[in-house]
Amino acid sequence: RLLTVGGTIKLWDVDNTATPLYLFSSNTVSYLGARWSSDNDTILAWGQAGASYQADVWNAQNSIAALASLDFDDVINGAAWNPDDERMLIWSADGTTQLWDIRDLNDPDVLVSEGAILGATWNTAGDLVLTWNSRGDISLWNADNLLEEPLLLRHDAMLASVPPEDRAGYGVVWSRDETTLLSWTPDGTVHLWGLDNPIEPHVLSHEASVRQVHWNQARDTVFTRSADDTITRWLLGGGSRSLKLTTQIGGMSLSPDEQFILVWSNQEFSPTERSGVIDILRADDFSRVQEINLTDHEFTGAVWNNDGTRLLTRSRQTATSIYRNAVWDVASGEMVAFYETENVLRAMLWSPDNAYVLQWISPPDSATDLIAIQLWAVDRPFAQPTVLEPSDAIVGARWSQDGTRILSWGADGALHIWQADSLSAPLFTFFHPNAADALPVQSAEWRRDDSLIVAYGAHTITLWDAAAPGAPHATVTVPGTTRILGIDWNAAETHFVPWTFSSGFAVWDASGDEVRQVTDMLAAGETISGVKWSSDGGRLAVWRFDNTVSLWDVATLSTLTLTQPDETIVRAGTGNGGERTLLWREDDAQILFSTTVASDGYIWDTGFEVIQQLARNALFRQLTPEERRAFFLQADEG
């Protein structure tokens, strides 16, 4: 889920961003910020209410009214939950830091400072609070008693020289082991403060404001980048080394093994002529080991892959505004693959195995509108991402079970089998019958250890030999006037069940050379949403758009007791919208059923009694590890 703040607070489902799931709003408060609790159940929000200021606590699954409202006398600068979500730290411009217990919101601990509190944070144990204010005071407090003297007080006098309007650029962070503090000011000064002794800080002075700071893993070296295009390596034991580039630095990053620094920059020859430069430098002495120049392109980003052998760069051609993602070999400096588009490449991520890049693009005139998210196979030089079909728009695709082949199908009714490591041309192309239909191929899948391909259109199901898919092995037509919505196979893959919207479902035998229908169309006239075989193949679970579920004995094809659950058993709402999911447990003793119509979820004992309600008129919550193990769910099934 995604939380956005702008006067109101909106909670979004990232898989469906058409409308927000919840809108948290107040008639009196214009919200300026918000924080999730670590369990994502509670939202702490703050903002301005007329001439006063207010913080509200919301249940993330109920936007009707706030759980609590807290009043403040001045602008709230920020807030943070403690690690166990039982206490809230809220700091404001009047110099107060307030510590609230979520179980008793009547009497907070209040810490008063002589300067506006610019920031505060908890340590990982939740027993210490770190605050810093506009006077330059950095204080460490016992979280159980803020009224005691601070455990540590540092004064960063450099902050006094910074104009008040620029002090938002001041910050403090813990080191990973929480033995050292790092602070920085907009005037270009970085301090390192030891928490275990009262020594003066290490002062890392720069000639310009600091844009980036990196610790190394050992926490004995700091790398900084400043606005005057200088990078500096600082040793905590003393000593530093700087390198000032003649180009305009856009960013830097350490290689995964911390042996090298990647610096991407641009050189401007005229307002319309820029060239990009990549420098790979040794981290210990800044000696250059690789330089990449990209004429007529300006770099807008660069990242290492996960083993440090390749770089991924994002650039824009200055003359034509063509955007390019490119992969470079670090050792040779050669470009090994690239992808170009007239749309704006907004972001890029390596896959963990370095084989793919996830990239998303926007139209040129928008910084926010998303056109597409693309998966780019970078080891296939210059291949267009996601483009498998040579003639028509791709409708869907599936990996074979062994991961060596890809099955795709298009809107023109064509199916293709591709070798996964070479997408230049399909191994096989074959066509589903009735290609002229509006839905020639709705879906297709691999079966029987990748030896069988099954596809279905509006009314027709075809089976092919995957090794030689010339003519279909079998073609069957499902009776009825409404189209096929899906197919489910039994575990032995000898029988399958297609279902339709209102023409019913039937069992087909595919164990022999001839595929034959072995039952009449059952439940005809009912609006069926899905059918699922039990693990042992002995029963079918059929659920409908009215959110009722029936069990059918396959041997007798008679319905069992659960045929028409009443409202005391199923309270998942009514209507044809939303999605419904049903999973059998491996031992067939229970069914997990959920729906997004009213966002309810149930675990049913197949003795036909609800034994646990997962959610009620709220977001369907994540399964616990125990529940997940009980249902033997795969990771990608959620």
Burial of residue 335, with CB atoms counted within 10 A of its CB: 0-12 exposed, 13-18 middle, 19 or more buried: middle
In a domain, 635, yes or no: yes
pLDDT at 632 over 50: no
Expressed in percent and rounded to 5, the helix, strand and coil fractions of the chain are 5, 50, 45
In a domain, 187, yes or no: no
**What is the separation of C-alpha 112 from the centre of its chain, rounded to a whole number of angstroms?**
39
In a domain, 546, yes or no: yes
Residue 259 pLDDT: 92
Which residue did the predictor score with more confidence, 245 or 219? Answer: 245
Lowest-pLDDT choice from 52-56, 163-167, 242-246, 531-535: 163-167
Q: How far apart are CA 48 and CA 130, in angstroms?
A: 25
pLDDT at 20 over 70: yes
Question: Band of the pLDDT at 599, cuts 50, 70, 90?
Answer: very low
Q: Which residues of 381-392 are buried (b: 16+ CB within 10 A; e: fewer)?
A: eebebeebbeee
If you average pLDDT over residues 21-35, what whole number do you get? 85
pLDDT at 497 over 90: yes
Q: Which helix (H) or strand (E) holds 629?
A: helix 625-631
Range among 42-56, 94-108, 207-221, 371-385 with highest mean pLDDT value: 42-56
- Residue carrying the six token digits 């039937």: 506
Q: Give the 3-state DSSP-derived string for 582-616, with helices as H, strands as E and coil as C.
A: EEECCCCCEEEEEECCCCEEEEEECCCEEEEEEEC
Largest CA distance in the chain: 87
User: Number of structural domains, the chain?
Assistant: 1
Which residues are paired to 444 by β-bridges?
Answer: 455
Range among 140-154, 173-187, 280-294 with highest mean pLDDT value: 280-294
pLDDT at 249 over 60: yes
SS3 160: helix
In a domain, 535, yes or no: yes
Quote the tokens at residue 23.
């809108």
Residue 578 pLDDT: 45
- Residue 103: CB atoms within 10 A of its CB come to 7
The CA-atom distances, in angstroms, between 139 and each of 91, 133, 362, 428, 457 are 14, 9, 44, 69, 68
Question: Band of the pLDDT at 329, cuts 50, 70, 90?
Answer: very high
Range among 243-247, 381-385, 625-629 with highest mean pLDDT value: 243-247
Which residue did the predictor score with more confidence, 393 or 275? Answer: 275
Domain extent at residue 577: 516-638
In a domain, 241, yes or no: no
Q: Under a CB-based contact definition with an 8 Å cutoff, are residues 48 and 36 in contact?
A: no
Average model confidence (pLDDT) for the chain?
77
Residues 159-173: pLDDT tens digits? 666 666 665 567 788
Residues 444-482: pLDDT tens digits? 999 998 999 999 988 899 999 998 887 888 999 998 888
Question: Band of the pLDDT at 573, cuts 50, 70, 90?
Answer: very low
Among 169, 211, 209, 160, smallest CA distance to 187 is for: 209
Pairing of strands 96-101, 87-92: antiparallel
- Please report, for the domain that includes residue 590, its CATH number: 2.130.10.10
In a domain, 385, yes or no: no
Residue 618 pLDDT: 37
If you average pLDDT over residues 99-106, what whole number do you get? 84
In a domain, 553, yes or no: yes
Residue 360 pLDDT: 64
In a domain, 363, yes or no: no
Residue 607 pLDDT: 46
Residue 144 pLDDT: 82
Q: How far apart are CA 24 and CA 6, in angstroms?
A: 11
Residue 597 pLDDT: 43
